[in-house]
Amino acid sequence: MSTFKGRHKRAHLMTSAAAAAVMVGTSFSAVAQDSDSDFTLEEILVTAQKRPQTLQETPIAVSVTDAATMENAHMLDISDLQSVVPSLRVWTLQTSTNTNFAIRGFGNGANNAGIEPSVGVFIDGVYRSRSAAQIGDLPRMERVEVLRGPQSTLFGKNASAGVISVVTAAPSYDTEGGVEASYGNYNSRQIKGYITGGLSETFAVSLSAGVNKRDGYIESLTGETEDINDRNRWQVRGQALWEPSEDVSFRLIADYNKIDELCCGVTNILNGPTAAAIQALGGIVLDDSDPFHYTTPINETPVNEVKDYGISLQADVDFEGFSLTSISAFRSNDSLNDTEPDYTGAPILDSAFNEANIDTYTQEIRLTSTGVNKVDWMVGAYFFKEDITQVQGLDYGVAARPYISLLASGGTSATLFDDPFPGFGVPIETILGIPYGSAFSGDTQTRETFTQDNDAYSFFGSVDFHVTDRLTVTGGLNYTKDKKTVTGSTVNGDTFSSVNLQNQFFGAAFFGQTGLAPTPDNIALIETVAPGTSAAINAAISPIVTGFGPLQFQPQFLAYPNSVENGKTNDEKLTWTARASYEVNDNLNMYFSVATGFKSTSWNLSRDSRPFAVDQAALASAGLTQVNQTYGTRYADPENSIVYELGLKARYSKGAINIAIFDQTIKDFQSNIFQGTGFVLGNAGKQKTKGIEVDATWVPSEQFELRFAGTFMDPEYVSFEGALGPNGITDLSGETPAGIHKTSMTVAGTYFFDIGENVSGFLRGDWQYESKTQVVDNIAGVDRSVSMFNAALGFEWENGLSVNVWGRNLFNDEFFLSAFPGVIQSGTVNGYANSPRMYGVTVGYKF
């Protein structure tokens, strides 16, 4: 009965939505046609289905941002797209390489090289598997397509939430070029340029390059570091286009990008009870009454260095009735990140470093029917090979022992002998009854090494059957096989975390009560004289052990593969798409589709990777368990998604409107949440989002362009047992997932004008709104909402000279990008604040 009701409710929703969509489209028609001007809205071409189509005839929920919009709005990279695409959210945390993407609230993949993104990013048809390879400044653009919902049928694995497809301009046979320079607040300086032209009638090349620099906007309070959250990146890109005949073309692209920045500033949202200990050790506790102060107390300069480069070759050959496309690519990404993880300036944890190398090889081949056919088809194959080597670790500072001692002793004053901080707390060794200096020995370091070899291949195909001139039925299949082999090992100098607290406190209590050493014989003797003594002691010390446990935040790591854990996963999945599209008339199209998505297993390549609890007995039997052995996850199982979508696309001479009503579910969503000392990686059961998206453009004349885009959603954790909530492990089933705004909107308006006969200009403004939502699942009371305004005023002369005055976040809207529990600071909540107001002027010249 419940299944029938669910289907009936969904059908009713879709039917009602369809009727409403037709009414909206009809009403919009009257408004859009209400003009006598000869001006007509420009047609938009997209490749969302890997073949050129107009946006109106593409039966997919897709947002397109063209080069002119990005240039006028002064968008520098992919993250700026969210100001015009409300379904897209982009945020950067901890390091310059840690950029995350979400579409319709779904997305992950940052902060861990083993976790591939749920939103696939493609640049000129080449998949960028990690965020560090996606965030470089945008080159000479043509357009960016954001495909919403699962796209695994044509784009393969790791497109379970959507796709961002960046299309750059190919070389031109006509000699063209341009250069532009910008200057703004915080000493922002940008310069970029390009030149393109034909070397013969069949061979053309282009070269583009850019530099982007800015001082940090987060002020250093100690003077021991530079201001952070700066920009320092540059890129160069070369292309060659060879078209030996009308039927054959080759496009070779090579690029090199480099980032060397100080990122990312952390603020205090709530100060916990450890604040006094931090201040006693010389640290600075930021004022939590004003978390948007844009200052930092750190005394270790953060390092964020990225080198990303690659080469790709696309070959297109037209045959009789079909075309062949081959895209071959190699990419390499080297990154080094180093930051002070406690963010206090006290020398507790001096360094959290991560050095990674990722080499990726991809090959795609597809055959596509051409011409006018009753049946259009596409078949293809895709191969993916990636090798990851990662070394990461922690360096403890000289204040680690006194800090742990203060927390363990409740701040009781005592002399710490040769410690650099005498008089702060009873030494932790004294509390544990072990030799002084045995818990910490000077600076302590952990160092973890991981490797991952990933081989995957896909076979895919789609068929469009044109039932009538107006009705098309589409079906598509994708079979993906994904294999991963992973290794992990560590050298852990944190001997304190290797102390068996249960045994240590039991021994001290046993000796205190009996006067005997806690040997097995003595324990047995006491049990014969006074049965239950051991149980009583264990019960008494249990709260103490529990209280001390969090201080041992880096227990020894069990290396793998081992005799129980083989370090391998092998996934395979068949995903599919079924769609029907109907051309109501020459201006109005409707479609209904069902699509599935797949994301392969993600491994936790971090010090927080722990054996599964189900392996506990086998590990114990093999003698592999260690002191204080903890259990968690090595990896998260694959996530699978499905979306039901009803869409309307209407286009008229003066405007267009696209509407999508969707019901989207992701099963086993790969959740990765920081809990104060490490990340909890697991599967989130079932997450569901229902909603409606509207994207409308109205151009009443050549002088005005108005655009509204909105996403209205109702997200829910249908089931999420074992989730990490504000009070630890809990059941979030039935709750609203954090970080997903129920309402997101952008409103943009552009006025075009002429000054005399030689000067044209524009005035543009856009407003981005996101409703209030809790920032992360495991921190209650920390919310974010967005109301941000951007504007630009530009002039262009006939001789190619242009001037653009621009501003982003002009009214200094303040909100949190994310939040997390303070690192070994119980009760403290840290967070990342958004960028403050940015403004400047850009001068350009094109020929």
pLDDT at 413: 44
CA angle 12, 14, 16 (to 5 degrees): 65
Read off the pLDDT of each residue in 275-281 and give the average, rounded to a whole number. 87
pLDDT at 46: 81
The pair of structure tokens assigned to 298 is: 């750190």
Task: Of 45-49, 187-191, 528-532, give the lowest mean pLDDT range.
Answer: 45-49
Confidence of residue 14 (pLDDT cuts 50, 70, 90): very low
pLDDT in tens, 229-269: 999 999 999 999 999 999 999 999 999 999 999 988 999 99
What lies within 8 Å, CB to CB, of 131 at 6+ separation is 97, 98, 99, 100, 101, 109, 110, 117
Instruction: Tell the residue number behind the tokens 């090889």, with chain if given.
Output: 361
Give the amino acid at 108: N
Read off the pLDDT of each residue in 92-96 and give the average, rounded to a whole number. 74
Please check the confidence at residue 2 and state whether its pLDDT lies above 80.
no
Read off the pLDDT of each residue in 770-792 and give the average, rounded to a whole number. 93
| SS3 label, residue 105 | coil
Please check the confidence at residue 74 and state whether its pLDDT lies above 70.
yes
DSSP 728: E
Please check the confidence at residue 364 and state whether its pLDDT lies above 70.
yes
Q: How far apart are CA 59 and CA 472, in angstroms?
A: 10
pLDDT at 15: 37
Please check the confidence at residue 727 and state whether its pLDDT lies above 80.
no
Read off the pLDDT of each residue in 92-103 and give the average, rounded to a whole number. 77
CA dihedral angle for residue 105, residue 80, residue 823, residue 263, rounded to 10 degrees: 160
The pair of structure tokens assigned to 451 is: 């490797």
Read off the pLDDT of each residue in 137-152 and give the average, rounded to a whole number. 85
pLDDT in tens, 621-638: 999 998 888 898 999 999
pLDDT at 131: 62
Whether 18 and 590 have beta carbons less than 8 Å apart is answered as yes
Report CA-CA distances (Å) from 97 to 109, 132, 263, 472, 605.
11, 4, 9, 43, 16
**pLDDT above 90: percentage of residues in the chain:** 57
Quick one: how many helices (H) and strands (E) in the chain? 10, 42
Please check the confidence at residue 207 and state whether its pLDDT lies above 90.
yes
Read off the pLDDT of each residue in 262-288 and give the average, rounded to a whole number. 89
pLDDT at 39: 60
Read off the pLDDT of each residue in 501-517 and give the average, rounded to a whole number. 89
Confidence of residue 182 (pLDDT cuts 50, 70, 90): very high
Whether 39 and 701 have beta carbons less than 8 Å apart is answered as yes
Read off the pLDDT of each residue in 814-837 and give the average, rounded to a whole number. 91
Average of per-residue pLDDT values in the chain = 87
Helix, strand, coil in percent for the chain, rounding step 5: 15, 50, 35
Beta bridge partners of 803: 795, 843
CB 623: neighbour CB atoms within 10 A? 7
Q: Among 661, 608, 675, which Cα is nearest to 636's?
A: 608
pLDDT at 724: 72
pLDDT at 247: 96
Q: How far apart are CA 823 and CA 147, in angstroms?
A: 37
Please check the confidence at residue 693 and state whether its pLDDT lies above 90.
yes
Please check the confidence at residue 358 and state whether its pLDDT lies above 80.
yes
Could you tell me which residue, 759 or 300, shows the higher pLDDT? 759
Confidence of residue 408 (pLDDT cuts 50, 70, 90): confident
What lies within 8 Å, CB to CB, of 265 at 6+ separation is 216, 218, 228, 229, 294, 296, 832, 833
pLDDT at 138: 65
Whether 229 and 216 have beta carbons less than 8 Å apart is answered as yes
pLDDT at 498: 84
Report DSSP letters for 406-446, one per residue: HHHHTT-----TT-SSTTSS--HHHHHTS-TTSS--SS-EE
What lies within 8 Å, CB to CB, of 334 at 6+ separation is 306, 307, 308, 356, 357, 358
Read off the pLDDT of each residue in 309-335 and give the average, rounded to a whole number. 96
Read off the pLDDT of each residue in 672-686 and give the average, rounded to a whole number. 81
Please check the confidence at residue 677 and state whether its pLDDT lies above 50.
yes
Read off the pLDDT of each residue in 185-204 and give the average, rounded to a whole number. 96
pLDDT in tens, 634-651: 999 999 999 999 999 999
Q: How far apart are CA 162 and CA 144, in angstroms?
A: 13
pLDDT in tens, 594-622: 999 999 999 999 888 999 999 999 999 99
